[in-house]
Chain A
Amino acid sequence: MDMTRRTLLAALGATTGAVALAGKGLAAGPDMPAWQIGYANAPADGFAPTAMDLVSGRLPDGFRGSFYRNGPGWFRYGDDVLGHWFDGDGMVQQIAFGDGKAIHSGRFVQTNKHISEQEAGRFRAAGFGSAGDPTYPIMSGDDVNAANTSVLMMGGELMALWEGGSPVAMDPATLETKGPHALRDDLKGMPFLAHPKVEPNGTIWNLGVAGTRVIIYKVAATGALDTYELIDIGKASYIHDWAMTERHLIIIAQPWIMTRNIPPFVNSLEWRPEEGLELIIIDKDDFSSRRSVTVDAHAFYHTGAAWDDAAGTIHIDIALYDQPFLGEGGATNLMKGEFDPAEDEAHSTLSRIIVPTSGAARIEKTDVDGEFPVVHPQFHGLERRLTALVGGNTPGRPGARRVSTMDWKTGTARHFDYGPDRIPEEHLFVAKPGGQTEADAWLVSSALNIKTLRTEIHILDVADVSAGPIATFAARYAWPLGFHGTFAPA
C-alpha cells in the first residue's frame, strides 16, 4: 500500500467518534454582508475531521484521494484588521474522498509568524501589505513566512507554500506541522515560490526570487534535490508564477518592479508599462542557454501551463490584467466586508502568449475572463487542449461565479454558472482511473455558499462541464476562501 493510500485511509477513518461541529465554523461580522464570511477568522485550533453531507449526486467510482487547499485563515485581532488579504496565516483544508464519503479537516500551518502572533494576540510580522511591528524580530524569510498560498506533495510530505520562505512540511494525514523544509543544508531558508511545476513523471521544478536574483530548483520525484542554478534576470519584477514546457523554463518578468526594501512590500512595487512584459526562456538541459522576448505590458498572477509545438513555438496560457490588481491598499476592504465597485470592472482575460523560435512574440486574448487557470497534471508541459479557470462576477461582491474550460484546439469554451449565491474557487483536474485524454477527468473544487453559509465541494465531469456538478457535498459550516490546491490520488 503506498503512502498516499495509507494517508487517505487514516483521514477517512479519523472521524470515528467525531461529533458534528454545529456552530463551530465561521460567521460574518455584525452588519457585514454574508460573503464576508469567506474572509473571517477560522477557529484557531482548526477544523476536526468531519463528514460532509452529500447534497446531490454521488461520489464517482474511482474518485479516491485527498484534495488539499491552502489559503489565509486569520484576518483580525479585535478591531485590528490585517494589512492585506495575502498576509493571512496559512490554513490548509483537506477533503478526503473515498467510499462515497467526503471528510473535511483543516489546520493552521504552525509558522513562526502564526505562533508568535497567536501568543501575542496581535499582528506582528511584516508582509505583502503589512508594515509589521518594528519590535518583531526578522532573522530570515521564515520569520515572516505566512505559508498561505499553495500546497505541494513532495517526498511523501505535504508542503505548505508561500513565496518568500521555505516550504513548510506537514503530515498529509493529520495536517500537523513539522516545520520549514530545506532541500539541502546549504539551501536552508531559501525562498520557494508557491507555483512549482510538476512534470508528468513527478519531477518538480520551481523558482525562488530575491530582487533580481532567481534560483531554479530541479527536484526528483522522491523529493531529493537534483540540481539548482542561480541566475540574475536584471530586474526586480514581482514574480508570483511562471511557466514550463517539456524543454523550457519560462520566467515571466512583469513590469511591476520592486523599488525599495521597506515593508509593506506591495508599496514598493512600481508599475512601469513602458518596459513591457519580458519572457526569459531557459533550456532545461542547459541553464546557460537563454533568450528573452518582450510583449506588450500586462500584469498577471497566474499561468495555466505551456508547451512547445513541433515547430518549436512556445504556447503559454495565462490570465492577463491590463494593469496590476489587488495591489497597494487592495483587499483590506474585503476583510472589513467592504467591496469597491471598481473591482467589478477589474478582471483578467484568459490569453495565450505565442513565442516563435525567432521573430516577434505575440499575445492572443480569448473572450473568456477568469483567474486560477489550471490544466490536467498528466499533460503539464505537453501539447494539450484544455485549460480550466473560474471567472464571471456578481455585482457588489467579490469572487467568481463560473467555471470554464477552454478548448484551445477548437477555440471554444464551455461554462457552468454556479449562480449569484456561490463563490467557486480554483478547480483542479482529477484523472479518472485508466483515463487516456484530458477529458477523461473530473474537476473538483470548493465553493462558498453565501446563502446557506456553508462551504461546498463540487465534482464535475470535464467531458460535460456545462451540465454542472455530478456530486455536491456540503459542510455544516464555512471555511475561509483559499488560493491554490493539489489533489493527491490514492
Chain B
Amino acid sequence: MIRTALHLSAVVAGALLSSCAVVADAETAATTDTASLTITLDGIANPTGTIRLGVFAGEEDYSNGGGITGANVTVDEDTETVTIEGLAPGEYGIKLYHDVDDDGDMDTNPFGMPTEPFGFSNNARGRFGPAKWDAARFEVTAGENTHAITVGG
C-alpha cells in the first residue's frame, strides 16, 4: 500500500526536481508580450528561502517537457507574489517547490519523498505522482492574469 505511495512519491520528487532544473536554465525569452501572469503564493509556513517555480505551456510541455519559463521567488513573508511577463495567451500549468534551506535542490527523505513543500497550479494534487495536466491546467488570456497557489508546509 504504502510502499506504493512511497515509491511513487519518488516520482513526484523526480518530476519536480526536473522542473527545477528547468527553472534554473529557463530564459524569459518570450517576445509576444501579450499576457502577464501574477502568481500569489500564500500559506507559506516557513518565511525563508526561495520558492522555485516552473511554468509549462500545454499538456506536452507540462507532462514531458522542460517548461517555458520560471521564477525563483525570495521568501520573506507568508505570502509572496511574482509576475511573469510576455506569455502568449493559452493554457498553462505550474509546478513549484519551496527551497526552504535555499540549497538549490528539493530536499527528499532517504526514500525519495519530498521533505520541502511543493505544489501545482489550481492547488491540484496528484495520486502516486505529480498532479496531472487536467487538474493543473488554467487559461491565460491577453492582458493581466492572476493565479493563487497555496504553498503550505
Which positions in A face B, CB cutoff 8 Å?
126-128, 134-141, 143-145, 162-165, 185-191, 208-211, 213, 215, 228, 230, 236, 258, 261-266, 268
Q: Could you list 8 further interchain pairs (A-B, Cβ under 8 angstroms) beyond the known A140-B113, A191-B6?
A: A126-B4, A138-B127, A139-B125, A186-B115, A190-B110, A208-B111, A211-B3, A236-B3
Q: Is the CB of A164 within 8 A of B2?
A: yes
> Are B6 and A164 touching (Cβ within 8 A)?
yes
Q: Of residues A139, A145, A209, A261, which shows the largest number of chain B Cβ atoms within 10 Å of its Cβ?
A: A139
Min Cβ gap A142→B in Å is 9
Most chain A C-beta atoms within 10 Å of own C-beta, residue among B8, B109, B128 = B109
B1-38 contacts to A (CB < 8 Å): 1-9, 12
Is B47's CB within 8 Å of the partner chain A?
no
A240 to chain B, nearest CB (A): 12
Residue of B nearest to A229 (CB): B110
Q: B107: nearest residue on chain A (CB-CB)?
A: A186
Chain A: interface secondary structure? Answer: loop
Closest Cβ of chain A: how far from B151's Cβ, in Å? 13
A-B contact pairs, 17 of them (CB 8 A): A126-B5, A135-B127, A138-B5, A138-B8, A139-B9, A139-B126, A141-B113, A143-B5, A145-B2, A164-B1, A188-B109, A190-B110, A190-B111, A191-B2, A210-B6, A230-B110, A265-B4
Interchain CB contact under 8 A, B109 and A190 = yes
Pair A128/B1 contact, Cβ less than 8 Å: yes
CB distance from B75 to the nearest CB of A (A): 17
Bound CA–CA A20/B15 (angstroms)? 55
A141 to B6, CA, bound (A): 6
In the bound complex, CA of A137 to CA of B113 (Å): 15
For residue B81, give the distance in angstroms from its CB to the closest CB of chain A.
Answer: 24
Is there an interface contact between B5 and A141, defined as CB atoms closer than 8 Å? yes
B39-78 CB mask vs A (1 if < 8 Å, else 0) is 0000000000000000000000000000000000000000
Q: A187-B109, A189-B113, A190-B110 are in contact. Are A140 and B9 (CB under 8 A)?
A: yes
Where the two chains meet, the residues of B that have a C-beta atom closer than 8 Å to any C-beta of A are: 1-9, 12, 107, 109-111, 113-115, 125-128
Enumerate chain A residues within 8 angstroms of B128, measured Cβ to Cβ.
138, 261
> B110's closest neighbor in chain A, by CB?
A230
Q: How far is the CB of A253 from chain B (nearest CB, A)?
A: 14
Tell me, rounded to whole Å, the shortest Cβ–Cβ distance linking B98 to chain A.
13
Separation in Å of the A103 CB from the closest CB of chain B?
Answer: 34
Q: Is the CB of A265 within 8 A of B115?
A: no
With most chain B CB atoms within 10 A of its CB, the pick from A210, A213, A263, A265 is: A210
Given A164-B1, A236-B3, does the pair A141, B109 have CB atoms closer than 8 Å? no
CB-contact partner of A165 in B2, B12, B110, under 8 A: B2
Q: Are B2 and A215 in contact (CB under 8 A)?
A: no
Tell which of B3, B8, B115, B126 touches A164, judged by Cβ atoms closer than 8 Å.
B3
Closest 9 CB pairs of A and B: A164-B2, A137-B125, A265-B1, A188-B115, A210-B6, A261-B4, A210-B111, A189-B113, A141-B2
Least CB distance from A115 to B in Å reads: 15
Contacts of A186 in B (CB 8 A): 107, 109-110, 115
Chain B residues with Cβ below 8 Å from A187 are: 109-110, 115
Q: Which residues in A have their C-beta under 8 angstroms from that of B5? A: 126, 138, 140-141, 143-144, 164
Residues from chain B with Cβ under 8 Å of A141 in the complex: 2, 5-6, 9, 113
B6 cross-chain contacts in A, Cβ below 8 A = 140-141, 164, 191, 210-211
When C-beta atoms are compared, the residue in chain A nearest to B7 turns out to be: A261
A215–B111 contact, CB under 8 A? yes
Q: Write out the residue numbers on chain B whose beta carbons fall within 8 Å of the beta carbon of A230.
A: 110
Most chain B beta-carbon contacts within 10 A, residue among A138, A145, A164, A228? A138
In angstroms, how far is the closest chain A Cβ from the Cβ of B46? Answer: 11
